[in-house]
Structure 1
Amino acid sequence: MYVRALELVDFRSYQRVVVELDPGPCVLVGPNGVGKTNLVEALGYIATLESHRVATDAPLVRFGAARAVVRCAVLHDERELLIELSIEPGKANKARLGRSPVTRTRDILGALKLVLFAPEDLSLVRGDPSERRRYLDELLQQRQPRFAGVRADYDRVLKQRNALLRSAYLARKTGGSRGGDLSTLDVWDTHLARHGAQLVRARLDLVAGLAPHVAKAYAAVSASRSDARIAYSPSIELRDDVEQALLEKLAEVRKQEIERGVTLAGPHRDDLTLTLGELPAKGYASHGESWSYALALRLAAYDLLRDDGVEPVLVLDDVFAELDVGRRERLADLVGGASQVIVTCAVDDDVPRSLRGARYEVGGGEVRRV
């Protein structure tokens, strides 16, 4: 699989730009701030329906424009598919596959399989659990797009349940004798447990598949003898019947939930534990080790998607400037044979020679093949 062409209209800094890309290595070169990352961010959004830089859609639309449009032509097994996404803040986004509109935007998930590594990924190691949950869920949705619906259902139920708990909490704080009406809480518990159990089981299977790839990728990138291990850390005691375990946990913490006005159990409270040797990576890994671990997580995702039978597009956004020479060369050796590697950089010399394929200069709102 590779991206043959990318067109942006009113996306970020671009009024309109069209880029024709080649298979193999493609290097986007230009000073910082000229829009290199905007190009790969658009591809990442097509693949995951999320930006790796911002949490909302509004910043993706060029100032003064009502909407942004991203179009890309993807080649797989000599067949070309056009994917189009219209981003309209405050409204429902719209999408097309092969020029035909789709019922739901999430129906385009899986059309472009892509793994993007960027400086922001250091938060996978050093950041909050929400960053690692997002990593798992985005990968899960690329492998099995139906889980976008499961995740959306869970988030909807969680929002409703939290609103109910919050209203009861505020009623009690303002002197309400009964502390708000919680008569429907059992119903929300049932919905939360049903959707949550699907998500937990899927994440557990995903982590089991990822673990050996993470260990292998970390060893290859870092040339270290320390073992990199990952494990899923749930907020419930795991057993065969995950749904029942979640229901029992919700019953156990209900008093605290009512006192605090928030849901305290479920996959939104889970984490992906990262260890190096016998120590947790967060707080103990050096800067170089943290970079290697973050890279290993993305490379593991790439390998897992490739094991599914489709080689994804790999994007390395301003990565080589952050790596020492040894890590640069080892990373280049690992990814040099990919069907398409899109690299962004400010300085040509940061990119190892083995990845210097098609070259594009970015600047002034334009992208020029050189």
Structure 2
Amino acid sequence: MYVSHLTLHDFRSYAAADVALEPGVTAFIGRNGQGKTNLVEAIDYLSRLASHRVATDAPLIRAGADRAVVRASVVRDGRTAVLEVELNPGKANRARINRSPLPRARELIGLVRTVVFSPEDLTLVKGDPSDRRRFLDDLLVLRTPRLAGVRADYDRVLRQRNSLLKTARMSRGALDTLGVWDAHLARTGAEVLAERLALVDALRPYVGKAYETVARGATRDDADIEYKPSFDLEGRTSRDDLTEALLAEVERRRGDEVDRGISLVGPHRDELLLRLGDLPVKGYASHGESWSFALALRLASYDLLRADGDDPILILDDVFAELDTERRAQLADLVAGAEQVLVTAAVGADVPEALAGVRYLVGGGEVVRE
């Protein structure tokens, strides 16, 4: 799988951009603020309908524009499809395949798969639990696109339930209505929970293998991940059992939730634990070890997606400037064989020799092949 052409209209800093791409390595070289990351961000957005840099779509629209369009020709097994998404702030986004409209924009998700390495990856290790939950959910949706709908349903139920909890102490009617939303929370939450548990089990061996590769002197037994739910599951993993368990725990915590006006049980409160040996990575690992673990998580994602039968597009967004010479070389050697690798860097010297390929110079709103 690779992108052969990218077209942008009013996306980020570009009023218009038109870039031909090839399999193999393509590097976008330009000073900070010139728009090189905007190009790869657009391709990643087509993959997940989300940015790896910002939480909402509004910053993706060029200042003064009403909407933005991202269009890409994607080649898979020798066949080309044109994927397009129109970003409309405050309204529903619209999507097309080969110019034909889709009923929902999220039906684009997973048609092109990307794995992004970026300086923000350090938050996977040092950031809040929400960063690690987002990492799992993004990977889940890429592997099984229908889960985007399940995740959206859970978020909707959670917002409604939290709204009721804020008024439950003052309103008997709100308290009576909670039971209906408890059932919805348990049903959708159990599906998210079951899928995350299965994903962590599938990802774990890849994380150990990747960490051994990128960390000097490490073995694959050094790095481990574990899913920690918001309550004890007592070994339950099936969707039906998890639904019952979530519902029982919600009922048990009812008083606490009403007092605090917020939902305290469910996947939105869970955590992905990262360990080196017997110690948690967060708070104990050195800066170098933290970077190695973050890289291992991304490499493990890539390997898992490849094991599913697809070769994802790898995006290395300004990541080499954050790494020492040894880790640069290790990462470059690991990804050089991917079907398509897109690299951004401030200067050409930051791109390792193993990733020599097509180069574009980015500056002044132009993208010019070197």
The answer to whether TM tops 0.5 is yes
Aligned residues: 363
Contact 1:133 1:271 in 2 (8 A): yes
Q: Write the distance in 1 (CA, Å) between the matches of 2:108 and 2:45.
A: 11
How large is the Cα RMSD of the aligned pairs? 1.1
Give CA-to-partner distance per residue, 1:23-69, whole Å, 9 cap, x none: 11111101111001111111111111111111111110001000000
Contact 2:118 2:319 in 1 (8 A): yes
Is 1:36 matched up with 2:36? yes
Contact 1:314 1:341 in 2 (8 A): yes
Match of 1:197 in 2: 190
Match of 1:247 in 2: 247
Q: Write the distance in 2 (CA, Å) between the matches of 1:222 and 1:14.
A: 38
Q: Write the distance in 1 (CA, Å) between the matches of 2:12 and 2:133.
A: 27
Q: Could you tell me which amino acid in structure 1 is paired with residue 158 of structure 2? A: L
Is 1:18 matched up with 2:13? no
Match of 1:163 in 2: 163
Q: For 1:327, what is the secondary structure of its paired residue?
A: helix
Match of 1:175 in 2: none
Match of 1:221 in 2: 214
Q: Write the distance in 2 (CA, Å) between the matches of 1:83 and 1:221.
A: 35
Is 1:320 matched up with 2:313? no
Q: Which moved more, 1:238-247 or 1:147-156?
A: 238-247
Is 1:58 matched up with 2:51? no
> How far 1:287 sits from its partner (Å)?
1.2
Q: Write the distance in 2 (CA, Å) between the matches of 1:252 and 1:305.
A: 39
Give the unaligned 5+ runs of structure 1.
172-177
Is 1:230 matched up with 2:225? yes
Contact 1:27 1:360 in 2 (8 A): yes
Match of 1:142 in 2: 142
> How far 1:179 sits from its partner (Å)?
6.3
Q: Write the distance in 2 (CA, Å) between the matches of 1:125 and 1:71.
A: 33
Match of 2:114 in 1: 114
Give the unaligned 5+ runs of structure 2.
none
> How far 1:278 sits from its partner (Å)?
1.2
Show the 5 A alignment for 1:237-276.
237-238=232-233, 239-240=236-237, 241-276=241-276
> How far 1:168 sits from its partner (Å)?
2.2
> What TM-score comes out, normalization by structure 1 length?
0.96
Match of 1:174 in 2: none
Q: For 2:354, what is the secondary structure of its paired residue?
A: helix
Contact 1:237 1:245 in 2 (8 A): no
Match of 2:356 in 1: 356
> What TM-score comes out, normalization by structure 2 length?
0.96
Contact 2:165 2:174 in 1 (8 A): no
Q: Write the distance in 1 (CA, Å) between the matches of 2:249 and 2:110.
A: 34
Q: Could you tell me which amino acid in structure 2 is paired with residue 59 of structure 1? A: P
Q: Write the distance in 2 (CA, Å) between the matches of 1:224 and 1:163.
A: 51
Give CA-to-partner distance per residue, 1:75-121, whole Å, 9 cap, x none: 11110111000001000000001211000011001110111111111
